Amino acid sequence: MAAGYNTALWPNSYAVRKQLRELGYMVPLGNSPLVNDTKVRSFQKDYNLLNGHYSQEVPGRLTVDGVAGKHTLNAMEWAMLADQSWPNYWGWYVDRASRSRGAR
């Protein structure tokens, strides 16, 4: 986790892992940093897929590197807020964009 970034939302790696799980990415709970993690890569790919389909609603693109760094945390914040505003928004839109693209 990038030191000092989004510490109000995610003060440690455990909190980042918990949020990823709430978005449907079942990373193991713990407090070790998420580096080169396959579930983080999945989130990053899904975020970019949504950006490609809904670029006016989904800001920016992520480097798919498996690291929960500052840009990924920013994207997680966006996904979390969207999911809280419209229940199941994140999963529904990822699934819809994936099917229209034949990605899954």
Query: Which spans in the chain are helix H?
Result: 13-22, 38-53, 70-85, 89-101
* pLDDT value at 3 more than 50: no
* pLDDT value at 104 more than 50: no
Give the tens place of pLDDT for each residue, 36-46: 999 999 999 99
Give the tens place of pLDDT for each residue, 10-32: 889 999 999 999 998 999 999 99
Q: How many whole angstroms separate alpha carbon 1 and alpha carbon 7?
A: 10
Higher model confidence: residue 29 or residue 1?
29
Band (pLDDT 50/70/90 cuts) for residue 84 is confident
